[in-house]
Amino acid sequence: MLKSAKSKSAKKRSAMSFSATTASAAKPEGSTLVKVKGQGDDPGSKQSQVIALLQSPSGATIAAMMKATGWQQHSVRGFLAGVVRKRIKLKLASKKVDGERIYQIGGPGGDGSGARQSKRRPS
């Protein structure tokens, strides 16, 4: 039997680099569209329901969001962190009232589009 000059890992690297270059060549630059759920998609969707609860003046608890959607607690928390904060980039505020945590988009006096303050000290 003859051994090939290229090792298996070298073959994989060359195959991966080929597929990566052809994929990037097929996609024109600057054409990345990111569709964000919860922003005008389906007003009856679970994500839209949670966002509506968060936008209410009284805010919403995890339990209220769980009841409205049928999601488990960890799913609601994941939605708040992953979608509301990171993907949609809304300012999510929380406060404890009578021992219960209340979540609200945009807090009092804010519209949810507040800029973050730098924590660096002036030099």
The pLDDT assigned to 106 comes to 79
- Give residue-wise pLDDT tens across range 104-123: 997 444 444 444 455 667 76
Which domains does the chain show, CATH number per domain?
A: 46-105 (1.10.10)
- Give residue-wise pLDDT tens across range 15-59: 555 545 444 445 445 434 344 444 556 788 999 999 999 999 999
DSSP 31-93: ----PPTTSSS-TTSHHHHHHHHHHSTT-B-HHHHHHHH---HHHHHHHIIIIIIIIS---EE
Tell me which of 117 and 6 has the higher pLDDT: 6
Q: Lowest mean pLDDT of 59-63, 93-97, 98-102, 119-123, name the range.
A: 119-123
In terms of Cα–Cα distance, which of 42, 48, 34 is closest to 87?
34
Check pLDDT > 80 for residue 68.
Answer: yes
CB 105 within 8 A of CB 84: yes
Q: ∠ at Cα 97 (48, 84), nearest 5°?
A: 25
